[in-house]
Amino acid sequence: MNPDTLIRMANQIGAFFEAMPDREQAVQDIANHLRRTWDPRMRTQLMATLGGTKEVNLKPLVREAVLALRQAEAA
């Protein structure tokens, strides 16, 4: 699927959670939202943007969440 679309959707999720006062919790909530509502192929493609040229388009908080998601799914 189009990685730009996935990044835009992930950043939208991030925009909701970044207002939360606890940053660590916000990161977990974003990762959790992705894990519970996104089809695995979408998550895989989003995680694949890490390390690529499009990674900079992820909001910092979302980037942390995608990293956390990748670590959790690798475990």
Are the C-beta atoms of residues 11 and 65 closer than 8 Å to each other? no
Cα–Cα nearest to 50, from 63, 35, 38, 60: 63
Does position 15 interact with other proteins (CB under 8 A)? The reply is yes
Single residue of 38, 58, 62, 69 touching other proteins by CB under 8 A: 38
Does position 5 interact with other proteins (CB under 8 A)? The reply is yes
Q: Tell me the window of 1-9, 49-57, 58-66 that interacts with other proteins (CB under 8 A).
A: 1-9
Does position 44 interact with other proteins (CB under 8 A)? The reply is no
The token duo for 14 is 């991030």
The token duo for 8 is 């835009």
Does position 16 interact with other proteins (CB under 8 A)? The reply is yes
